Amino acid sequence: MAIMQFREALRAALREEMRRDWRVFLMGEEVGEYNGAYKVSEGLLAEFGPERVIDTPISELGFAAIGVGAAMVGLRPVIEFMTFNFALLAIDQVVNHAAKLRHMSGGQFAVPIVFRGPSGSAGQLAQQHSQSFENWYANVPGLKVVSPSTPRDAKGLLKSAIRDDDPVLVMESELMYGLKGEVPEDEDFLIPIGVAEVKRPGTEVTVVSFGKMVHVALEAAKILESEGISVEVIDLRTLRPLDYETVIASVKRTNRLVVVEESWPLGGLAAEIAYAVQRWAFDYLDAPVVRLTGADAPMAYAPTLVEAYLPNPKRLIEAIKYVTYRT
């Protein structure tokens, strides 16, 4: 094991897969000469050269389209968006082309492409730089969507995404690039896409989340442990395909569920999970399912409003106490 930052774990995954397979290349804004906007690709240009680490103009639609075409003819591109907020400019290529070409071609074309970059709030960056679109992309058949919460998961999921023969979105929290943790140095270390993980076992309530909200859940669980409330924390890790089985099995043990999601409430992943649990574990529930999401409003710039907008441990503790009848 090595102690790595989140960005270093992503870099290790990229380096190992580029060494392993000559078809893998990286393309995006500032990935080469500048070493990446968040220094994820630091040193890769020097090692692999400008034919495999390609700086692009500020044209998300254009370089996403090049990536889709390259994947169709046998390469394995990794397309970095400086932020998924800007990936909206390329959503036609992601949703109408990458996601659909295998089906539209009757299986004649695979599209082994990775779209990756930061997602969600990063503090005082206001409305156009603070949005969480994981649920949008998870809604699309033909795409796979992952959202790692630790350096270990970042490496294992990105490597699996690069090796996958279908388009995968790796959506990373902008606030976690400096997060440190243990990461296996094994070059064949993979985390299967579609498998959730119980990050903390518990007996009284299940809290389900993904990405940086997992750390909100873990902090709340640690505080509540001192009050005698046992919280099980599940990290989805993959948002499409969802690991319903792990969530439902947990709820059957704890009989209560709180779902935490950074994005807006309407049509979110929290709503989908709540539906699945009431459909398949209704008789096990001892309290209504509660979801904790971002505010149903655009993100503000003022730090007090940012704090009010996002789920936090205090609000999660209140939700957990509600479903466990501690209030």
Reported pTM: 0.96
Note whether 262 and 294 are within 8 A (CB). yes
> pLDDT tens digits, residue range 171-230?
999 899 999 999 999 999 999 999 999 999 999 999 999 999 999 999 999 999 999 999
pLDDT at 299: 87
Q: Choosing from 8, 16, 17, 60, which is the catalytic residue? A: 60
Q: Is 233 helix (H, G, I), strand (E, B) or coil?
A: strand
Q: What is the pLDDT of residue 127?
A: 83
Domain architecture of the chain: domains with CATH: 2-183 (3.40.50.970), 197-323 (3.40.50.920)
| pLDDT exceeds 90 at position 126 | no
Give the CB-side neighbour count of residue 173, counting CA atoms within 13 A: 25
129 is catalytic: yes
pLDDT of residue 121: 87
Residues whose CB falls within 8 Å of the CB of residue 36, separated by 6 or more in sequence, listed in order? 30, 42, 80
Confidence of residue 327 (pLDDT cuts 50, 70, 90): confident
**What pLDDT does 26 receive?**
98
Q: Convert 48-63 to b/e letters by CB count within 10 Å (16 or more is b).
A: beeebbbbbeeebeeb
In the structure, what pLDDT confidence band is assigned to residue 124 with cuts at 50, 70 and 90?
Answer: confident
pLDDT, tens digit, for every residue of 59-111?
Answer: 999 999 999 999 999 999 999 999 999 999 999 999 999 999 999 999 999 99
Q: How confident is the model at residue 123 (pLDDT cuts 50, 70, 90)?
A: confident
Give yes or no for residue 119 having a pLDDT over 90.
yes
Q: What percent of the chain has pLDDT over 70?
A: 100
How high is the pLDDT of residue 264? Answer: 94
Q: What is the C-alpha to C-alpha distance for residues 322 and 319, in angstroms, rounded to an integer?
A: 5
In this predicted structure, what is the pLDDT of residue 129?
85
Q: What is the mean pLDDT of residues 121-147?
A: 91
Task: Count the neighbouring beta carbons within 10 Å of the beta carbon of residue 113.
Answer: 29
In angstroms, the CA 310 to CA 262 distance is 6
Catalytic residue from among 129, 172, 215, 232: 129
**Torsion angle in degrees (nearest 10) through CA of 257, 260, 266, 269:** -80
Does 215 participate in catalysis according to the annotation? no
Query: pLDDT at position 125, please?
Result: 80
Residues in a beta bridge with 24? 76
Question: pLDDT band at residue 301, thresholds of 50, 70 and 90?
Answer: confident
From residue 120, give the alpha-carbon distance in Å to each of 76, 128, 264: 26, 10, 11
Return mean pLDDT, the chain. 96
pLDDT of 300 over the 90 cut: no
The per-residue pLDDT for 211 is: 96
Q: Are 148 and 177 in contact (CB under 8 A)?
A: no
Contact 85, 134 (CB under 8 A): no
Over residues 285-295, the pLDDT tens digits come to: 999 999 999 99
Give the strand pairing for 205-209 and 257-260: parallel
Q: Which amino acid is at 92?
A: D
Please state the rounded mean pLDDT for residues 51-57: 97
- H or E element at residue 80: strand 76-80
* pLDDT given for residue 69 in this prediction: 97
Distance of CA 3 to the CA centre of its chain: 21
CB 239 within 8 A of CB 170: no
Per-residue pLDDT of 236-280, as tens digits, reads: 999 999 999 999 999 999 999 999 999 999 999 999 999 999 999
| pLDDT value, residue 70 | 98
